Structure 1
Amino acid sequence: MAPRFSWFLFPLLALLFCHGAAFAAETLQKTDIKTLQNIAKMECLKKYKGKQHAVLYLTGRDLDDLTCHEIAYYDPGNVDANCNISPVFKVNLSKPRETFKHSEWQLIYTALRPMLQKWQANNSVASANPKCPKSLYLYSYLAPDYAFNRTKLGRTCTHAIVTGILNILYEKGCNNKTRIVVGFSEVEPKYREAACDGYKLMKQNNIKAYHLESTDKHKKLICNGVIPNAG
């Protein structure tokens, strides 16, 4: 009787596990979208309304308790451990270096490393392995830059997300420990094709990405009437 019972039980357990995993994934997705929406509505962002800006948030403190710090151009001093804002900086740069003034690029290459250092100092535990934030949220008002003329150079904000963030997490012992979640509100029509390619690249690298103004219920970016295949 026992073998026959096992034959019935194992498929049932597998089915329950799959349903549980699907429910957990859906719950996490809802949390991601809600967090990004709350970031977009923060009081400290009102002066940037309608203008490109970006926010980098490491979980650990509630957003309601935070006033995000605005970083300076290539100045890592005085960044906040949990939340920082960057506008697009008005500096004169040649076209191949234009991305360096963008808000997402500056948050990643100027703020993220010291943010993680301060975060780990504030959340240190007696352990051989450094404690890491569960999630890293990067919100950008416009879809992250993926300018076709700079993709071969790796100098787009999407490249900074895909390679820069991962490299810095690795340096701090947080690779495979900190989830990367990206959200954006607007996609300018003339840049939609580039935005779609950048979205696909993020998905291919296991980075959660959401278009907060999307008509899709899961806030997926819609391109030419369809959701891009992540491959």
Structure 2
Amino acid sequence: MAPRFSWFLFPLLALLFCHGAASDAEIDVPILQDMTGKSPATNNKKQYAVLYLTGKELKDLKCHQIAYYDARNVSANCNNAPVFNVTLRGSNETFKHSEWQLIYTALRPMLQEWQANNSVDLANPECPKSLYLYSYLAPDYAFNRTKLGRTCTHAIVTGILNILYEKGCNNKTRIVVGFSEVMNKTEACGGYRFMKQNKITVYDLGSRLQNKQLNCRGIPDFEMLG
């Protein structure tokens, strides 16, 4: 009888323990709010982004500001970027955005250095539990660039996942995205839905809804807009 009783008891105890655990939002939102204070030195405080890999306490980190297409000296845990002051138009517009730069310039060397600092055996490297990307403005999902995949939302969904896969961290590292302000509600909701469909956790820090969801009530799906 003892083995059968323990088989019943252990899952029950685990359930009771987990019931009191903090929700993802209770953990994620304070981290994202702390990231809002890690803005780079720029005159336009509304156009910047911060990329953070868990492992060290964010409050103790000084984020390294990356330069345009220059990954030298990136921090393993925390980097930030402004929207770069370059002239790019049309389908190339997104290339100057801060999120695009952090993903395609900083993330790969960040992960490489993070794994070197946190892995006992580099043949079986460790992975950060979570990857946080904060941008003041909601990641762009401009309708005229979505078919080309040239939006920051596509960079989050495709770029981050591909780099995690390269480093053996796919399905091991949570991707969490947060933003403070929405400029175009229809486009923001299209990007929000696209990220959530790909199992990326997204928060609108200015939202009054539970768990900081973006309020897309009444906004049609992007596919319905033709």
Equivalent-residue separation in structure 2 for 1:70 and 1:159 (angstroms): 23
TM-score, structure 1 as length reference: 0.85
- Is the counterpart of residue 212 in structure 1 residue 208 in structure 2? no
Correspondence for 1:221 among 189, 194, 214: 214
- Is the counterpart of residue 101 in structure 1 residue 96 in structure 2? yes
Distance verdict in 2 for CA 1:108–1:16, change over 3 Å: same
| CA-to-aligned-CA distance 1:27-64 (integer Å, 9 cap, x gap) | 2221101100111133x557566421000000111112
Distance verdict in 2 for CA 1:91–1:56, change over 3 Å: same
Equivalent-residue separation in structure 2 for 1:49 and 1:101 (angstroms): 14
- Is the counterpart of residue 116 in structure 1 residue 120 in structure 2? no
User: Does the CA contact (< 8 Å) of 2:79 and 2:106 recur in 1?
Assistant: yes
1:181 is paired with a residue whose SS is strand
| CA-to-aligned-CA distance 1:1-52 (integer Å, 9 cap, x gap) | x8xx99xx96x9878766765654x52221101100111133x557566421
User: Does the CA contact (< 8 Å) of 2:40 and 2:65 recur in 1?
Assistant: no
Q: Which residue of 2 aligns with 1:27?
A: 23
Distance verdict in 2 for CA 1:20–1:199, change over 3 Å: farther
| CA-to-aligned-CA distance 1:40-92 (integer Å, 9 cap, x gap) | 133x5575664210000001111121111111111111111111111111112
Residue 174 (structure 1) shift: 0.7
Q: Which residues of structure 1 form unaligned runs of 5+?
A: none
Correspondence for 1:199 among 192, 196, 207: 192
Q: Which residue of 2 aligns with 1:150?
A: 145
Q: Which residues of structure 2 form unaligned runs of 5+?
A: 222-226
Correspondence for 1:125 among 97, 114, 120: 120
Equivalent-residue separation in structure 2 for 1:39 and 1:198 (angstroms): 21
Q: Which residue of 1 aligns with 2:134?
A: 139
Correspondence for 2:53 among 53, 58, 62: 58
Equivalent-residue separation in structure 1 for 2:57 and 2:110 (angstroms): 16
- The letter for the 1-side match of 2:73 is N
Q: Which residue of 2 aligns with 1:169?
A: 164
1:107 is paired with a residue whose SS is helix
User: Does the CA contact (< 8 Å) of 2:116 and 2:122 recur in 1?
Assistant: no
Equivalent-residue separation in structure 2 for 1:222 and 1:67 (angstroms): 33
- Is the counterpart of residue 85 in structure 1 residue 80 in structure 2? yes
How many pairs were matched up?
217
* Poorly superposed stretches of 4+, deviation over 3 Å: 12-24, 44-50
Residue 117 (structure 1) shift: 0.7
More moved, 65-74 vs 121-130: 121-130
Residue 225 (structure 1) shift: 6.2
Distance verdict in 2 for CA 1:81–1:142, change over 3 Å: same
Residue 223 (structure 1) shift: 1.9
2:194 is paired with a residue whose SS is helix
User: Does the CA contact (< 8 Å) of 2:131 and 2:175 recur in 1?
Assistant: yes
- Is the counterpart of residue 181 in structure 1 residue 179 in structure 2? no
Equivalent-residue separation in structure 2 for 1:23 and 1:153 (angstroms): 45
TM-score, structure 2 as length reference: 0.86
Residue 126 (structure 1) shift: 2.6
